Structure 1
């Protein structure tokens, strides 16, 4: 076994020989290189990314001493790209766990079988660096590592997601050198890195060398002061140097014009100060940046400066004196193939998607991100909650949620997490709050973190959800500036806002759990958040599904989750909980969020005159960059549109807009006005014409009812046993009197169904049904069968027949959960009408759905409908869809979730035709709107499958026509489904008409 000191289980040793934490920067050789932001253009930077020799050992006991010696031959070792996570490269166990530690909870001790990765890299040092101090920077290594250069021990570090920098000048030489790194999977720090994620290991962020002048700048802290009237800003550039050093600095505006220049002799500590009159302030809507260039010796440092003031006044969170709503998401570092190694273009892709969907805030859950990500947030315009790499959720199941934060032996480990984060990130204007971590209890160690931060940087509030009194931590929460909650209900946050005793603003650091088909309660939250100034907003959990791209045994590609690799313990698909897929394809939940948090609101004032009220919900910019487009549709067909209308409303102001359309006084048709707010010019995140939001209005045209007198042809009835044959001019239907269902529906000899019609209450549980589904299954909803008590012809004429069926639905063991009376009527046109009266047994949990299920034959691939679309919608997830006429395929109706579940419903459907491509099929309509679903899978197929690749596509088309389907909510982690969205009626009536048609004859 290797002969090293066992630092990984020693709370008194967090590092050996590591440099003190400092602000992030790269020294460049000139202004042009610095302004490019390209590290490789600096003569003082040398990447160590690339191919390393690598050897994996399941246990550190297998590591042989001396592997780091220069003479050791590593040519037979594997090649491994750095940065990377070794688990996605085929080593060790891929494992996903949320709360639970993957080993016994015995802090600070970790398993003896501690997986270890050995890295060796040879590299050259240029003669140009001979007179320089040389440093190596590891931006992220999970979980701890030992470093040797040319066979000599350099140092040790832990703390996975903040940089570790070492002065390697004594160990390095001009020409060829060898670096060896030993990375351990676990260390005592792992106890406070128990985040909800895949447990990755290795050198997963960039590694590079820096050459510095012997006398150089060590640290820079650009502090701001802004006058109360915001007409004057001062940036105080606090500098730390190795010794006496002449410093020159230039502050340039966004046009690269030098607006201030200063020079000073700094002896280890000093300050340069610049005053800016009438500064352009930074905010997420207008992320204006000044550039501060600092010159010393041969080096040029560049820092982005955004003038902004963050404060809390009378319980209201404010930026630049304006109350701001934080419309955010939680974002993990997550890549479907690279794990936690995130390329910069992948970061940009995330930010572009967020901007396109009206997100303005990111919580870096639950650790500091790559420093370049913060630069991008400065530039694109995002508010950041920068979160310390600290979570010890697993102690909850060990019996004491606060066991580490109240233990003074852990104070240094806690405190260091705050220090290293703040020192690295302190100069980023995008950071508006510091977070002390996540789900780690609350006591004296968190207080120490907060007090240190306030002493170092009082310009930003401190956030930590762990002070929620429901967690029963220390009551001494005065060092925390905001009240933060997870998954509190809309009613809870409203009660908080109403209580005058609550003096801190409330922030929902996690809400509206976006797992699978969801979330379904966004509008309910935001109606309340906008209503109360004390409510700051929140961050949806979470941005992305964390699926790992892999292949099934038969070669099908899919995204894997916990347990798919035999990992124990695991939390299954709980990592598949994002607004976008692992491939960044937006889920419909993201489209819903975009509309609900849109920065513009449009409301009707007088639709008879074409006037609407536009409210600017931006906090800092007017609407001059937006134009309003409009269109009028008649029964789903475009009939009018006009030139774009210029908007101009100031922040938080309203504008009355007149839309010049003309309407008939009355019509038998429906008229809809759709207005859309679109960007006038191209930005770095969207093209000109990008839709920011929309609204749709049902126009006030008097509906003239048509009373067409139709001659109904005669029908013929023929009863054969328990089958009733109903024949007309061009149709033949067969009703099974014993089963109480149609078993054949035809037109011109074309069969329209392949199985008996049936009433259905089951849906494949969504991820947000993960709790309620147990109650549903306990009641037998998933095994409901219909019992027919009686079936008889109750009315018969020459042109029609009525059949009454008395029935119940129930599962084995249980008493039937509902009774119904279905009245079926068939007339001489072939149209079938249904009226069903339902009584639900008292004391039952709400139903998943109720409706009619039909199985239509192979070739039924076309769905035309008038209702909400084009994508899926539910009673509580329907704000991102527009009412209109849509033509889709059955496959296009399907929303493919990684864990198969209920999907693809179209809430608010008025009529639908499901047919083959030739238009031969069934038309469905009702006296009230219904929910439509057409798919090549039954609810049972979706329930049974654990992954999308396990689904076997049926040739038939399964159609659901639902009186109601309960909402999707966010109860996988959030509150229970809100009462208005439940199918909880004890008595209800459902009416439906089914007509076999050939479209060409309609």
Structure 2
């Protein structure tokens, strides 16, 4: 057998692989600055179709398959780079924590799938002056390389480059490259990340033609004096042989500010001094260009002068306390899996920038090196993470097991070393991470110590060393306390504890699965309040749904279990701020509002005094403009722009806004103040809104006189039904059901069934911690029972009915007992007041309100409340009060896993009607949560994929809620905070409804 079985030996990590080095592509001139690799004479991309043969068991591969004699003409063709699962080979599988094989390190399943890749290339320029290297930037999980049938090397570690000198195996003319890729290897025990488990050559493959005598490695460290006025660029050059090197440093204008020429033999240290250097930060990412010239090669590097420190427990960049407004990002493409095109990476970063993010945690492995180049250029702080996670060891009984095994220490160190060596020259990288959820032991300590010794200019992070973890040991080499999903109470206690000297970083918080997250604003109140809190990263950026298209061209997204796999973790991969196609969810809009770099606070509404606080770390607000407008009942009546606001970072200033509003009015007046871009940026056009705040102005509310009915009310009792009629309207109240069964105006019927009080909502992902308790008490099966319904007042202008009712499930005590008083006025208005008592033994309610079925065709929705998108009591930073016209479909937020969606928190009034304006109006002086849907609650509750939802063909569902519990982030984060729970045991609720024909 040709393949020496080294894939189950943690002591053998590579054979013939080159030492790790900084990422660069040698070029022939200073066009290297363009970072367009294809312009380089030294670069040859091998992407494209390769011949491919898939084997369900690596043991079926023999000498013939890797020899030059094998006939590959009948083999499949597979695009490189790609993941073979996305091309129909092997099993698609999403797993979060569990290993998809037995935990028996270093052994992997005997039936280990493998693929043989073959590429024939022509080489005609072999010379003694050049050496030929092949680079695989990402291969999962391990692979053997053959050149012209000769074994050339082996490598493992999926998401770091593997480089081999293949010069001895090449010949002039046709050459055959063969890679045998295995699905599993002992390294798979260190790659148990929460993700789809893809295999293959999934990143770029290329040849480099290098000078035989050359610069092999470059390590740049841009060091700043404490006062930031003096910069020193320290450059370590490592040469193969003795070579002459010329080093040029050019500023952003292209002017040379440093030049050194020297003979380099082995590793030499050089330095350049730069007076008053322009500084790099995420807000203003000024880059210098460093050219290292030797022989026929020019190497290019970005240089960013920035200083990263922790002082008195405060995280600082360039001596300024900085808050990391971050997100966790996996490599994920809805069709290509872990193969990420450059434009896709750029699209992600531009969307992040547009939504006020300044930090990316590369969870949980090194990204494509071009991703870091984009971060350098666009301005992002990066937490660069080693390709290391052993989460499944916890399922086996001890998450620390591998991190404590010294025979695995080399494997742990290898992943740290390759990360640091590749990315050490990227100014965007400010923190090294030892990996994720792999326990903590001596192997991690060695990783951290090595990173500190190799690069003292950056900080080191690792969350699984957190206090309280079993196996907690020495953490001196870690520069911060990192936490995942702590409660707000825990965060504040840490911030106040003077014995805690390290800053706290929330590497994962505010879980964005499904409808949510609903708690981000509260975390940021604390983060801004306490200097010791350095910020955090939302989990996570995008949903990992797999795109599927049906026969009609309709696109849907699959998750764990949709491919027939037996071991999977369902829709837990559908947990992002953007959908798989990068459509922003409400969650992303909410995070944009929470992360906004400006704060507006009303100081005196009577005088129009608003305090503006600049939350940028390095940017004066003179780079932006402030727009203000006053709306009367949603209509703009005054507006203007403040073009010049000289306000330094972190400073506050009170400005006067010259609006003019009446002392009293039947209308509501709101002031909205926005920060806008003055110029177009790559991520947004001029005029893009960075952030806003809205204030209700203190105009005394005049209550309009009730419209009196022109005709007296008439009633007629027909068995259990009370018919109430007035001018042009007829209502029928069902005394047995305790609700109206008919509401019509000019014979236009507004009901499609009998309304009912309800306490259930279609569970959101974040309801996970409480869902079983809700179901235990039958919340999902509640029925309204009427004890008694009677007329308590009757005259020509008013009919009042009183209903005693309960909500209960089979075999359970009632959850709610209440009394509803319905008043029908001669004008046609129906006022309801509900007093309800909640069973003291049940948990908090999902919601409480009235479910009203209206006929299909009532598709137009107009309302005065928070919009334009959904909002909840704990997710409302991104909405503003206004008058909105939309549709039922426009109210719906399409979550891949169907759940409660589309509610509008803080609604004053709403009209649901047909396009001609015939429908129902709902209003309340107290405000209410409001929702309209084409889907019944039962349909949303029972359906597992959005494309399977069936619209109700007979009705439109309207929900007028006293309250809806918040959404939180409990799918992985802490349980919903008490102040966002509908946990009141006594409820008082009132609103009005009436049929209307509005102007259309």
TM-score bucket (shorter structure): over 0.9
Residue 13 in 1 paired to residue 12 in 2? Answer: yes
Q: Tell me what 1:191 maps to.
A: 189
Q: Tell me what 2:659 maps to.
A: 661
Deviation at 1:70, TM superposition (A): 1.4
Q: Tell me what 1:688 maps to.
A: 686
Q: Tell me what 1:743 maps to.
A: 741
Deviation at 1:711, TM superposition (A): 4.7
Residue 397 in 1 paired to residue 395 in 2? Answer: yes
Q: Tell me what 1:335 maps to.
A: 333
Q: Tell me what 1:64 maps to.
A: 62
Q: Tell me what 1:721 maps to.
A: 719
Q: Distance in 1 between matches of 2:130 and 2:970?
A: 58
Q: Distance in 1 between matches of 2:231 and 2:159?
A: 33
For the 8 Å contact 1:96–1:562, the answer to whether it is kept is yes
Equivalent of residue 280 in structure 2, options 271, 278, 282: 282
Residue 144 in 1 paired to residue 145 in 2? Answer: no
Residue 27 in 1 paired to residue 26 in 2? Answer: yes
Q: Distance in 1 between matches of 2:958 and 2:779?
A: 19
Q: Tell me what 2:856 maps to.
A: 858
Deviation at 1:755, TM superposition (A): 0.6
Q: Distance in 2 between matches of 1:683 and 1:645?
A: 18
Deviation at 1:684, TM superposition (A): 1.7
Q: Secondary structure at the match of 1:211?
A: strand
Q: Tell me what 2:53 maps to.
A: 55
For the 8 Å contact 2:934–2:951, the answer to whether it is kept is yes
Within 5 Å, which residues of 2 pair with 1:132-281? 132-281=130-279
Q: Tell me what 1:912 maps to.
A: 910
Deviations 1:519-556 (A, max 9, x none): 00011100001000000100000000000001468874
Deviations 1:831-885 (A, max 9, x none): 1111110001112110000000111112101000000000000000001001000
For the 8 Å contact 1:59–1:115, the answer to whether it is kept is yes
Q: Tell me what 1:528 maps to.
A: 526
Within 5 Å, which residues of 2 pair with 1:512-551? 512-551=510-549
Report the more deviating stretch, 661-670 or 145-154. 661-670
Q: Secondary structure at the match of 2:531?
A: coil
Q: Tell me what 1:114 maps to.
A: 112
Q: Secondary structure at the match of 2:401?
A: coil
Deviation at 1:229, TM superposition (A): 0.9
Deviation at 1:611, TM superposition (A): 1.9
Q: Distance in 2 between matches of 1:278 and 1:428?
A: 21
Provide the TM-score with structure 2 as the length reference: 0.99
Deviations 1:203-230 (A, max 9, x none): 0000000011110011000023211111
Q: Secondary structure at the match of 2:396?
A: coil
Q: Secondary structure at the match of 2:817?
A: strand
Q: Distance in 2 between matches of 1:736 and 1:64?
A: 80
Deviation at 1:441, TM superposition (A): 0.4
Q: Distance in 1 between matches of 2:659 and 2:124?
A: 73
Q: Tell me what 1:960 maps to.
A: 959
Deviation at 1:473, TM superposition (A): 1.8
Q: Tell me what 1:977 maps to.
A: 976
Deviation at 1:712, TM superposition (A): 5.3
Q: Distance in 1 between matches of 2:706 and 2:786?
A: 37
For the 8 Å contact 1:83–1:207, the answer to whether it is kept is yes
For the 8 Å contact 1:263–1:272, the answer to whether it is kept is no
The count of residues paired between Structure 1 and Structure 2 equals 999
The CA RMSD over aligned residues, in Å, is 1.2
Q: Tell me what 2:987 maps to.
A: 988
Q: Secondary structure at the match of 1:642?
A: strand
Deviation at 1:474, TM superposition (A): 2.7
Q: Distance in 2 between matches of 1:412 and 1:929?
A: 62
Q: Tell me what 1:462 maps to.
A: 460
Q: Tell me what 1:943 maps to.
A: 941
Q: Secondary structure at the match of 1:8?
A: coil
Q: Tell me what 2:504 maps to.
A: 506
Deviation at 1:643, TM superposition (A): 3.5
Deviation at 1:655, TM superposition (A): 2.3
For the 8 Å contact 1:418–1:436, the answer to whether it is kept is yes
For the 8 Å contact 1:831–1:993, the answer to whether it is kept is yes
Deviations 1:268-297 (A, max 9, x none): 111221100000110000100000011000
Deviations 1:420-455 (A, max 9, x none): 000000011111110000000001000010111111
Q: Tell me what 2:44 maps to.
A: 46
For the 8 Å contact 1:326–1:537, the answer to whether it is kept is yes
Q: Secondary structure at the match of 2:523?
A: helix
Report the more deviating stretch, 117-126 or 201-210. 117-126
Report the more deviating stretch, 349-358 or 468-477. 468-477
For the 8 Å contact 1:874–1:907, the answer to whether it is kept is yes
Report the more deviating stretch, 527-536 or 679-688. 679-688
Equivalent of residue 91 in structure 2, options 82, 93, 110: 93
Deviations 1:560-601 (A, max 9, x none): 000000112100000000000000000000100001111111
Deviation at 1:708, TM superposition (A): 5.5
For the 8 Å contact 2:466–2:472, the answer to whether it is kept is no
Deviation at 1:128, TM superposition (A): 6.6
Deviations 1:932-978 (A, max 9, x none): 10010011110111001110112321000000000000000000101
Q: Distance in 2 between matches of 1:382 and 1:996?
A: 54
Q: Distance in 2 between matches of 1:127 and 1:11?
A: 39
For the 8 Å contact 1:469–1:475, the answer to whether it is kept is no
Deviation at 1:702, TM superposition (A): 2.3
For the 8 Å contact 2:306–2:318, the answer to whether it is kept is yes
Report the more deviating stretch, 957-966 or 254-263. 254-263
Within 5 Å, which residues of 2 pair with 1:668-817? 668-707=666-705, 710-711=708-709, 713-817=711-815
Q: Tell me what 1:596 maps to.
A: 594
Equivalent of residue 816 in structure 2, options 818, 822, 827: 818
Q: Distance in 2 between matches of 1:408 and 1:830?
A: 81
Deviation at 1:799, TM superposition (A): 2.0
Q: Distance in 2 between matches of 1:828 and 1:747?
A: 13
Q: Tell me what 1:619 maps to.
A: 617
Deviation at 1:706, TM superposition (A): 3.2
Q: Distance in 1 between matches of 2:935 and 2:817?
A: 27
Deviation at 1:675, TM superposition (A): 1.2
Within 5 Å, which residues of 2 pair with 1:294-305? 294-305=292-303
Within 5 Å, which residues of 2 pair with 1:296-375? 296-375=294-373
Q: Secondary structure at the match of 2:189?
A: helix
Deviation at 1:750, TM superposition (A): 0.4
Q: Tell me what 2:847 maps to.
A: 849
Report the more deviating stretch, 230-239 or 822-831. 822-831
For the 8 Å contact 1:130–1:174, the answer to whether it is kept is no
Deviations 1:334-378 (A, max 9, x none): 000000000000000000000000000000000000000000000
Q: Distance in 1 between matches of 2:63 and 2:778?
A: 62
Q: Distance in 1 between matches of 2:129 and 2:176?
A: 20
Q: Distance in 2 between matches of 1:392 and 1:142?
A: 16
Q: Secondary structure at the match of 1:340?
A: coil
For the 8 Å contact 2:709–2:797, the answer to whether it is kept is no
For the 8 Å contact 1:780–1:814, the answer to whether it is kept is yes
Deviation at 1:713, TM superposition (A): 2.5
Q: Distance in 1 between matches of 2:172 and 2:290?
A: 33
Report the more deviating stretch, 192-201 or 594-603. 594-603
Q: Distance in 2 between matches of 1:255 and 1:145?
A: 45
Q: Distance in 1 between matches of 2:231 and 2:45?
A: 37
Q: Secondary structure at the match of 1:24?
A: coil
Q: Secondary structure at the match of 1:397?
A: helix
For the 8 Å contact 2:764–2:899, the answer to whether it is kept is yes
Deviations 1:392-412 (A, max 9, x none): 000001011110001111100
For the 8 Å contact 2:709–2:825, the answer to whether it is kept is no
For the 8 Å contact 1:129–1:211, the answer to whether it is kept is no
Deviation at 1:258, TM superposition (A): 1.0
Q: Distance in 2 between matches of 1:139 and 1:836?
A: 65
